[in-house]
């Protein structure tokens, strides 16, 4: 066989054909404008309910200025991993700023929320250890758990009694134990029962870890997350957050004790083996955290919640089910994946972008649209989106 015809990846063709047959195949939508509440994708201007840009910071004037100044002062890249030559002064300053913000001893910034979760769990546990994890935890937690080679036990979503059942069964576990949950669940928008999970962690001597990717900049005073919102300061050993959602740029961070952070400097593999953020990203994040604690930040968070309440109320009035959501993440339940994708496609044609999510992101039979409200949506835009949702929903027999 000649090299021109050799294709050891030919099985992918059949797998993709299978996705197409099931109506689950997608093309990437390409954003042609800035990430804003009304944006143009694939040549079409739509009301954009698809981003995690909760506070509209992706295009914030002050943050742009901070990024540009950092480029002028320090260049476009850091040139190395953190442990060699890639730790710049602004990296240290940002970490100190986040630690103060979160009221913890120390903080380390990773390249993304994904690497923060995966790198941390894999660094602190090994094969003799045990992880007790909510069934709807984010993929980056799941991957971190697998990388650690620890034993993984899954409790039913937000079910503290089921968590306790596992804690009791493993009471005499010889290794270390980690209890881990998302603060806000990314596909359902519901909030973890954090105080009760902290009770469990304390009673059964587990390390307590929370991933607050969707809570940072959204819940708690100044957007300090679920630990602040639910009054759990001092009870959570490891807090993860993202810089890619409400903060508007890119990155992830871990807050906790000085020793935890020191250990992650030595054993967090993405920290050790992948280059640190360019100065522009770091400076953007510094400006964003300063903004969260300013009157402008307070105003944006208030607006985010007012918009969230308005949009959810309208969807309910129009007959949609938004499930258990308690946050700006607004799932619109459909059920069958092919129907959810069709709903999303027709909505887009009608001028609203709300992506469909199906298996493997959510369980089979639980497909939905996932709409996210931001602080920078205008009331009229949300009302228009609700009307279009109702029209298209009716045409598909969803409402």
Exactly one of 114, 204, 320, 343 binds ligand PLP (CB under 6 A); which one?
114
Q: What stretches of 186-235 show up as alpha helix (H) in DSSP? A: 194-203, 226-229
Length of the chain in terms of residues written: 399
Contacts 24+ apart (CB under 8 A), 94-99: 94/282, 94/285, 94/286, 94/289, 95/253, 95/261, 97/286, 97/289, 97/290, 98/241, 98/253, 98/255, 98/289, 99/255
Catalytic status, residue 214? yes
Q: Which of 102, 177, 245, 377 is catalytic?
A: 245
| Binding of ligand PLP by 252 (CB under 6 A) | yes
Select from 29, 35, 24, 54 the least CA-distant residue to 348: 29
Catalytic status, residue 102? no
Catalytic status, residue 266? no
Q: How far is the CB of 112 from ligand PLP (least distance, A)?
A: 3
Q: How far is the CB of 337 from ligand PLP (least distance, A)?
A: 20
Q: How far is the CB of 302 from ligand PLP (least distance, A)?
A: 23
| Binding of ligand PLP by 140 (CB under 6 A) | yes
Segment 205 to 244, residues that bind ligand PLP, using CB under 6 A:
211, 213-214, 242, 244
| The token pair that represents 366 in the structure block | 């639980």
Contact segment (CB under 6 A) with ligand PLP among 68-76, 109-117, 148-156, 341-349 equals: 109-117
Applying CB under 6 A, what is the total number of residues that bind ligand PLP? 14
Burial letters for 326-335: b for 16+ Cβ neighbours within 10 Å, e otherwise? Answer: ebbbbbbebe
Q: Which of 51, 133, 186, 216 is catalytic?
A: 186
Residue placing its CB nearer to ligand PLP in the complex, 331 or 393: 331
Query: Which residue's C-beta sits nearest to ligand PLP?
Result: 113
| Binding of ligand PLP by 276 (CB under 6 A) | no
Contact, 133 vs 281, CB < 8 A?
A: no
Contacts of 298 (CB under 8 A, 6+ apart): 222
Q: How far is the CB of 215 from ligand PLP (least distance, A)?
A: 9
Active-site positions? Answer: 186, 214, 245
């Amino acid at each position: 066989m000649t090299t021109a015809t050799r294709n050891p990846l030919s099985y992918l063709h059949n797998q993709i054909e299978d996705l197409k047959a099931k109506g689950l195949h997608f093309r990437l939508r390409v954003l042609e404008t800035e990430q804003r509440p009304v944006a143009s994708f694939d040549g079409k201007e739509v009301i954009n309910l698809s981003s995690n840009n909760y506070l509209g910071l992706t295009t914030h004037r002050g943050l742009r200025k901070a990024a540009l100044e950092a480029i002028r002062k320090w260049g476009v890249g850091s040139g190395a991993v953190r442990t060699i030559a890639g730790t710049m002064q602004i990296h240290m300053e940002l970490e100190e700023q986040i630690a103060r913000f979160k009221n913890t001893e120390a903080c380390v910034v990773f390249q993304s929320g994904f690497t923060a979760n995966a790198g941390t769990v894999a660094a602190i546990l090994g094969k003799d250890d045990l992880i007790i994890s909510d069934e709807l935890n984010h993929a980056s937690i799941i991957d971190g758990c697998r990388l650690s080679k620890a034993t993984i036990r899954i409790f039913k979503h937000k079910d503290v009694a089921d968590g306790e059942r596992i804690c009791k069964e493993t009471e005499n576990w010889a290794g270390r134990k980690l209890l881990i949950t998302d603060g806000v669940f990314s596909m359902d928008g519901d909030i973890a029962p954090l105080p009760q999970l902290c009770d469990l962690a304390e009673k059964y001597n587990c390390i307590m870890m929370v991933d607050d990717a969707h809570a940072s900049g959204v819940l708690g005073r100044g957007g300090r997350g679920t630990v602040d919102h639910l009054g759990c300061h001092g009870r959570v050993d490891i807090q993860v957050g993202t810089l890619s959602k409400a903060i508007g740029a890119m990155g992830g961070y871990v807050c906790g004790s000085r020793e935890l952070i020191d250990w992650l400097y030595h054993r967090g593999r993405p920290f050790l083996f992948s280059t640190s953020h360019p100065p522009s990203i770091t400076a953007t994040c510094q400006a964003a955290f300063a903004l969260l604690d300013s009157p402008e930040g307070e105003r944006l968070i208030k607006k985010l919640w007012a918009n969230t309440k308005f949009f959810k109320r309208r969807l309910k009035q129009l007959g949609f089910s938004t499930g258990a959501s308690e946050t700006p993440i607004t799932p619109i339940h459909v059920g069958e994946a092919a129907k959810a994708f069709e709903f999303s496609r027709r909505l887009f044609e009608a001028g609203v972008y709300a992506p469909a999510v199906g298996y493997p992101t959510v369980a089979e039979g639980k497909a939905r649209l996932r709409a996210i409200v931001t602080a920078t949506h205008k009331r009229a835009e949300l009302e228009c989106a609700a009307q279009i949702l109702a029209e298209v929903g009716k045409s598909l027999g969803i409402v």
